[in-house]
Chain A
Amino acid sequence: MSRNALGEFEHHVLLALVRLGGRARGAAVVLELEDATRRTVSPAAVFVALRRLEQRGYARSTKREPRPGEGGRGKREFQITSAGTARLADSRRTFERLWGTGRPVAEPS
């Protein structure tokens, strides 16, 4: 596997960022994934994955200043970068090519 390839979990996290649109906090990603995959998702895994994606340039994070009246300190929010989007598109094309040339896979009954 090349250095650029996405792991399955990273793939899911990136897709969750897309689905959430704009900026998302870590906890939102966790919930989005749990809803979509119908499995429990470890916040620790998401925490690490988000930062790995950021390090590889597929996501970026900013600390949002507290809104007026909200108080407290800024909280970190993630969003997908153009490189991340390109990466997703690329992997989608790869999957489609693979699906298109092969025989359809029967769903397990």
Chain B
Amino acid sequence: MSDVTYIEAIHAALDESMDQDSSVFLYGQDIGKFGGAFKATKGLLEKYPGRVLDAPISEDAMAGVAIGAAIEGARPVLEMQFADFSSVAFNQIINQAATHYYRTGVPVPLTMRLPSGGTPGSGPFHSQSMESIYAHYPGLVVVTPATVADAYSMLLDSIKLDDPVIYCEHKFLYRWLKSKDLAGDNLPIGQARITRPGKHATVVTYSAMVHEAVRAAEMLQKDGGWEIEVVDLRSVKPLDTDTIIASVARTGRLLALGEAFPWGGVTAEVVSRVCADGFHLLDAPPVRLNAKDTPIPYHPKLWSSHRPTPESIAEELRKLLAY
């Protein structure tokens, strides 16, 4: 098998889902003949006529349409052109999709794909990470695949799931992240993975930051022989607290790492749960590392300092290990 990129894995999962289930359809801006802003749907309109629908620039209505279709038994996959624009659809997602099963007993099997995270030069409105916002609401599943195989299998699983899924795909991984292994280990949604085993400290992270954490771990391995364990959450809701606690039990030290803004969010949730359930396991105060508390800057030089980098992660880890 030749190398498959992260975006090709997404394309393959969409293709396979449409092939296997005629109730799956795609809805989003520029996704038909044009194939989508990132080409995730290229060629699918031709292959599945009538099931890849271009939407007007109406994120609120797009989400509403997907919700209605899902209530009616279809399995819509909604593409937001950028995660940032899903703010316009926020009301429909959190108030309509998230509450529907609890209120009525009728599930809403929609998948909303959010091209997330920063890339150089994208600026404040094409770079956001929205996972924490959506994870706050009961009724939503929020997944954040970090690998090519997860991008593939978790999208297949998301589309099959009867509950609404916010699928956060990282744009930075689209083209450079490649793998020959599309099948992967097929872990279910809700289960984290130990990406890199270690014994001196745990980094709990997700999405593109998994790769930055591994780089930092390699730096520390070379520079001091530290063995850093990296836990890839895979889904932030549900959150696999068991795997996190088990890892902290092995290492005694925790760094919660994320690319989103620092106030609240996934990393705060991880630290608070470890403190509440595993305080006795900690040999040092847990640490959080996130993006800076400013909008995401445009210029690559500013952007690369706004988000955590292997260097800044390694620096936090050194402090944590020295405690």
Q: Do A and B bind each other?
A: no
Q: Which residues of A contact B (CB under 8 A)?
A: none
Q: Which residues of B contact A (CB under 8 A)?
A: none
